[in-house]
């Protein structure tokens, strides 16, 4: 049993990873400012403090008194479109406040750190599937701010003897029996498609159909959040020595936006209107992981990331939630 601090543990990935840690018998303390997280997502058995990671005084008092063994850092700003129009917000949260967190932990003597990073650090890849040592040219300030904090953590591992694991997520998706995606506003592909299928949205908009891909829409690698949670627990068992390691979390298989549209129709049995709109700023054409390193070093295997199973798990939640959401008129998909 380890004493684990989880930042952003009321958010989508953070809450599911925290629940997985609790199930494994760890003592979990969550901090979240609830700006985008939800108190109802906090798993039973975890202790919770509503706290901003940039609040140095409160954070210092908490970590000094509790003597945590390891920190899992999920708290971040993550909307790609917003990062293109308000980069200051992303650097303030994802770098400046994260630096405050790191310094508070260092002062308290903690030196094991697991970081929730992103495939957005790569930009448009020259090699697909993308290995971890691929050149980094982020297309948005979200990816830039995450990459900057990765580099800070690498220096901490060299200079201060920290043991750091950074996970670069590809597309986290899917639901569990107790948790689902719940963003305001919602920008993720599968929840948006399911809202269109349930009639909560009048249509689904494809952001660009002129990319250099087989059908012109973006290609992405989708991984179930339960498989992400399992990767974090595997890392926890191997963080014994100082060093910095980075791992992709993805399946090595990519699907286009239009392919996902068809899969959602198959799984839900619903047709819905699909409209092609302009490209969204900051979107690379292709993001597909090479999972070779995480499979080899951590023994990780994705058990829940079959795409139809992902959609099915999320659809079960959408059907529960749809009646209480403000509905739009359902529109049949045009040919």
Q: Over 60: is that where the pLDDT of 29 sits?
A: yes
> Which whole-number Å values give the CA distances from 251 to 151, 220, 232, 301, 330, in the listed order?
25, 10, 16, 9, 34
8-state DSSP, 209: S
Q: How far apart are CA 312 and CA 173, in angstroms?
A: 11
CATH for 189-220+252-324, among 3.40.50.450, 3.30.300.30, 3.90.25.10, 3.40.50.300?
A: 3.90.25.10
Q: Give every CB contact of residue 194 below 8 A, 6+ residues apart in sequence.
A: 264, 268, 311, 314, 315, 318
- Residue 323 pLDDT: 53
Does the fold of domain 189-220+252-324 match that of domain 3-173+222-249? no
- The string of pLDDT tens digits covering residues 142-192 is 999 999 999 999 999 999 999 999 999 999 999 988 777 776 777 789 999
- Residue 187 pLDDT: 77
- Residue 17 pLDDT: 96
- The string of pLDDT tens digits covering residues 88-100 is 999 999 999 999 9
Domain boundaries, the chain: 3-173+222-249, 189-220+252-324
SS3 48: strand
Q: Over 60: is that where the pLDDT of 326 sits?
A: no
138 versus 182: the higher-pLDDT residue is 138
Report the interhelical angle of 307-321 vs 189-198 (nearest 10°): 50
Q: Give every CB contact of residue 61 below 8 A, 6+ residues apart in sequence.
A: none
Percent of the chain with pLDDT over 90: 85
Among residues 78, 84, 299, the alpha carbon closest in space to that of 171 is found at 78
Read off the pLDDT band of 65 (50, 70, 90). confident
DSSP secondary structure string, 169-188? E-EEE---SS-----SS---
Q: Over 60: is that where the pLDDT of 335 sits?
A: no
Q: Which CATH architecture has domain 3-173+222-249?
A: 3-Layer(aba) Sandwich (3.40)
Region 17-37 average pLDDT: 96
- Round the average pLDDT of the chain to a whole number and report it: 92
Q: How far apart are CA 98 and CA 76, in angstroms?
A: 8
- The string of pLDDT tens digits covering residues 184-223 is 777 789 999 999 999 989 999 999 999 999 999 999 999 9
Q: How far apart are CA 266 and CA 270, in angstroms?
A: 7
Region 248-273 average pLDDT: 96
8-state DSSP, 93: I
- Residue 99 pLDDT: 98
Catalytic residue among 142, 156, 222, 255, which? 142
- Residue 332 pLDDT: 32
Q: Is 122 annotated as catalytic?
A: no
Q: Over 80: is that where the pLDDT of 14 sits?
A: yes
Give the dihedral sign, CA 126/98/77/235: positive
Q: Over 60: is that where the pLDDT of 265 sits?
A: yes
- Residue 324 pLDDT: 46
Q: Over 50: is that where the pLDDT of 138 sits?
A: yes
Q: How far apart are CA 286 and CA 218, in angstroms?
A: 6
């Amino acid at each position: 049993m380890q004493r684990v601090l989880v930042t952003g543990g009321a958010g989508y990935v953070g809450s599911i990873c925290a629940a997985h840690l609790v199930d494994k018998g760890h003592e979990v303390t969550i901090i979240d400012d609830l700006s985008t997280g939800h108190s109802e997502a906090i798993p039973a058995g975890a202790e919770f403090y509503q706290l901003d990671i940039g609040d140095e005084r409160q954070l210092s008092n908490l970590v000094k008194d509790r003597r945590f063994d390891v920190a899992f850092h999920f708290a971040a700003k993550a909307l790609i479109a917003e990062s293109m129009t308000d980069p200051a917000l992303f650097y303030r949260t994802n770098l400046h406040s994260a630096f405050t967190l790191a310094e508070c932990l260092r002062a308290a003597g903690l030196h094991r750190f697991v970081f929730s990073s992103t495939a957005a650090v790569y930009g448009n890849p020259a090699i697909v599937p993308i290995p971890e040592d691929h050149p980094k040219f982020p297309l948005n300030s979200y990816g830039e701010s995450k990459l900057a904090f990765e580099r800070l953590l690498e220096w901490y591992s060299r200079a201060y003897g920290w043991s750091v694991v950074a996970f670069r997520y590809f597309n986290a998706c899917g639901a569990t029996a107790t948790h689902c995606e719940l963003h305001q506003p919602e920008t993720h592909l599968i929840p948006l498609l399911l809202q269109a299928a349930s009639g909560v949205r009048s249509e689904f908009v494809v952001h660009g159909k002129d990319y250099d891909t087989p059908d012109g829409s973006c290609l992405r690698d989708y991984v179930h959040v339960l498989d992400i949670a399992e990767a974090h627990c595997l890392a926890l068992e191997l963080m014994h020595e100082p060093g910095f390691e980075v791992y992709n979390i993805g399946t090595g298989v990519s699907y286009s936006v239009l392919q996902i549209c068809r899969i959602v129709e198959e799984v839900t049995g619903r047709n819905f209107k699909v409209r092609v709109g302009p490209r969204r700023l900051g979107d690379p054409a292709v993001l597909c992981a090479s999972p070779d390193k995480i499979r080899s070093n951590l023994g990780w295997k994705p058990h829940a990331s079959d795409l139809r199973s992902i959609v099915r798990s999320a659809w079960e939640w959408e059907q529960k939630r749809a009646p209480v959401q403000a509905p739009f008129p359902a529109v049949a998909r045009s040919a």
